[in-house]
């Protein structure tokens, strides 16, 4: 199989210079014992250059978003070209908070993913359902449509990581059970196999993002189709090191 475990830390709209320095020190001093893990942290735009310059080299940085096309008269936006120019390798796109709060549609997210990839960025592409959608039994309908909007715009999945984030488990303290996470991940992989290709299904990493903590990480990581995590609040805390080290479960 050979999918390298992937752990992303989404700092969201948090941090001061002092807090960011403290988080970076914790990451730099932390003992990462897992050898089979790719780690990325995503600070707010204003801290990206500082974090990139001061963080240990084995931890990469990601932007939390980028614009859907080349720069220009788009006040408040940051282009993929700017991120590439700064040497920022990754970007998170389609996060549920942007979909819900800013009205980003599936098609808009698909366009963003395609454009970012075309500029040489690697993409953490987010999909996920709300509590109402889960209770209505439409989880796979929702995440399939979100994934299809991306698949319709790209042909090369090499630099794409899919983050399944059940919206009902973000910032709520609720976590999908390992069985619930595995079920959706397995279904997503089957969707890729049927609608894209068996090779893409086998090689694309599908990570889980829904209130992951140091306490829940190992059991989630043990699921065969969970290839890592996109971590929110816990990525600001020392326990993020424990979450990174959950990668060891895959080689145990």
Q: Which residues are catalytic?
A: 95, 165
- Here the tokens at position 82 are 């700017």
241: left (phi over 0), alpha (psi -120 to 50) or beta: alpha
Location of structure tokens 């991940």: 185
């Amino acid at each position: 199989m050979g999918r390298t475990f992937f752990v992303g830390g989404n700092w969201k709209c948090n941090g001061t210079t002092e807090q960011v320095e403290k988080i970076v020190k914790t990451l730099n001093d932390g003992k990462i014992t897992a050898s089979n893990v790719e780690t990325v942290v995503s600070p707010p735009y204003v801290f990206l250059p500082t974090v990139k310059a001061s963080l240990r080299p084995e931890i990469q940085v990601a932007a939390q978003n980028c614009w859907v096309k080349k720069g220009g008269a788009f006040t408040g936006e940051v282009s993929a070209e700017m991120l590439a120019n700064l040497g920022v390798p990754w970007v998170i796109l389609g996060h549920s908070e942007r979909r819900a709060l800013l009205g980003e549609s599936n098609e808009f997210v698909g366009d963003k993913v395609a454009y970012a990839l075309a500029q040489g960025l690697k993409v953490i592409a987010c999909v996920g359902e709300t509590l109402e959608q889960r209770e209505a039994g439409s989880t796979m309908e929702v995440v399939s449509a979100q994934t299809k909007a991306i698949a319709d715009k790209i042909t090369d999945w090499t630099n794409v990581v899919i983050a399944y984030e059940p919206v009902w488990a973000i910032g709520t303290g609720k976590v999908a059970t390992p069985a619930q996470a595995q079920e959706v991940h397995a279904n997503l992989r089957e969707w890729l196999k049927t609608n894209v290709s068996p090779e893409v299904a086998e090689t694309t990493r599908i990570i889980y993002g829904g209130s992951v903590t140091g306490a829940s990480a190992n059991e989630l990581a043990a699921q065969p189709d969970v290839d890592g995590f996109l971590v929110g609040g816990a990525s600001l805390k020392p326990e993020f090191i424990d979450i990174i080290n959950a990668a060891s479960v895959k080689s145990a």
